[in-house]
Structure 1
């Protein structure tokens, strides 16, 4: 148990910077959460800045397509810095792509577009907060209820003052932009290049720029001709991809410009119509369900109360079964009501983000 609150359930994975566990939160909603445990025991104080920075950064980022932050602390041994975030039951996008490829399948274009738009909107929000992710890749993108969530801000960097570049050379080679590989600095357009590489990966189920060894990969990124998306995907989507991996960052679109590309804007408009329809019908369903529940169960709950008031008397098996049935029905009503509320609030957030 960490911080007298988080009970470790099982290990989810590990990386260069830490180990990730699923845990149970004994406080609040008691939902499954994730603890990222970062070893700092042998580091100098100034070397723990990345971990503290990640926690501070996550705590102020509020977006439906960014992993939600809950808590951070140093454990009792003073050796581990822990960050608590929401649990994404769908795993990471990299695992999803590998699984799809192993099954000999592909990701439908409408799904690719949905995830792509969510990713772009999340990055647009980051950039509006003067934040660069700097390590966007499929392993750092998670799925929760089939929606994209960007995570792992361990090497993100806040843009300071009016300076739009961060010179630190870090990240994953497959997703690095030409200007980063040439040590020309990293800016918001470099994140856009990475999203383009992720778009290709969702379609082709392999890296956009690959080769035998690091130098071969770097050469293809800097000098090579970008590949086309597989033929099963539309020319419109291929044009979106090509527009995001223009080698000159000055000619590469920003996140806002990506959302204004005709094919992307059209998909977002259709999504907006669907969300409006879904939200309106969801509200009507909740009102209808609650009204019928109230009318039907008001008398049934009174009868159940009568049964329970007679607890000193012996109840027949049929009466006991009736009480159990009513209790289960009320639990299901509460569950559906909470689910409807969560979906409504999430869709309102997405509508607001699409409109902006």
Structure 2
């Protein structure tokens, strides 16, 4: 999908948020590829999770065969740059941070798979440090999938990819570096590919890694069992508490906005609560218009196909 498009950062007028504006031209795609592309975007729009890069909206220009997508912007870089920084400083990552990253990614993948099973047949093979972003609080954001058709045992494939990432977080080395690929492939058959696991990490983390990289796919843990494991359960509880606090803060903000609506005659012009109320109303109106236009263009596109 990325080979047909370009992107740039823009600032949204309604709230001043910096977002990524992506433009795709699907004129050269076949009917089947175009239908898949539209399904991917619709899937992204419905995928909402705190650790998944958010797709805010999309616009279909069927006349010029162009698709515009508004994506969340991650300004703190990706996991690859964070790992590279640790390599330069010759410092291993803290185990609590590693567990936090793996927990958030596991939760994001579970949401992706659960949504895909209900509506779409997509598999997320793009689980690599370059496609995983960090915010200012070192929370991860799983980037856009490089979609593939749904594969048999696709969850087990995700577990394997997650294990490769965990190996890189712990050792600061790629699981399958280019020059040593043949040697590591030979070691896979004997299970000797984890000899360099740093001793500073706990035995529980080492066992988790071995289980995720089990050569027999049905012996690998499921995403659900990973979240319930002893090592990740505490981190899952912290994430749930953090999400609850975020929702409570949102409720308080909504109450302030409603209060401003009822008492706006007592507030001076330009008060932040009035501005917030106007921006929210404008956003809802704009989103509603976009939804109607998107559905109309989507129906026209489906008819063309």
Same fold (TM over 0.5): yes
Q: Name which structure has the greater RCO, CA cutoff 8 Å, separation 6+.
A: 2
1:154 CA drift (Å): 3.6
- Give yes or no for contact 1:23–1:35 (8 Å, CA) kept in 2: yes
> What is aligned with 1:153?
145
Q: CA RMSD in A?
A: 3.8
Q: How much does 1:195 deviate?
A: 0.8
Q: Which residue in the other structure is 1:173 paired with?
A: none
Q: Are residues 1:46 and 2:32 paired?
A: yes
User: How many angstroms apart in 1 are the aligned matches of 2:62 and 2:85?
Assistant: 38
Distance 1:155 1:221 in 2: 27
Residue equivalent to 2:299: none
In the alignment, is the contact (CA less than 8 A) between 1:54 and 1:156 conserved in 2? no
* SS of structure 1 residue aligned to 2:176: coil
Aligned residues: 259
The answer to whether residue 74 in structure 2 is matched with residue 88 in structure 1 is yes
Matches of 2:4 and 2:171, distance apart in 1: 29
Correspondences of 1:43-122 after superposition (within 5 Å):
43-74=29-60, 78=64, 80-122=66-108
Q: Is the 8 A contact 2:53 2:72 kept in 1?
A: yes
Which is helix-richer, 1 or 2?
A: 2
Q: When the two structures are superposed, what TM-score results if normalisation uses the length of structure 1?
A: 0.61
Please list the CA deviations of residues 262-314 of structure 1 after superposition, one character each: whole Å capped at 9, or x if unmatched.
Answer: 12224434665x649x949x97xx89xx9xxxxxxxxxxx9x98xx9xxxxxx
Residue aligned with 2:218, SS: coil
8 A contact 2:184–2:193 mirrored in 1: no
Alpha-carbon deviation of 1:225?
A: 2.7
- Structure 1: where are the runs of 5+ without partners? 1-13, 160-165, 167-184, 291-301, 309-326, 336-356
TM-score, structure 2 length as denominator?
0.69
Q: Structure 2 CA distance, aligned partners of 1:98 and 1:252?
A: 29
Q: Distance in 1 between matches of 2:233 and 2:59?
A: 42
Deviation at 1:86, TM superposition (A): 0.9
* Structure 2 gaps, min length 5: 257-265, 277-305
Residues 230/79 of structure 1: CA separation in 2 closer, same or farther (3 Å cut): farther
The structure with the larger Rg is 1
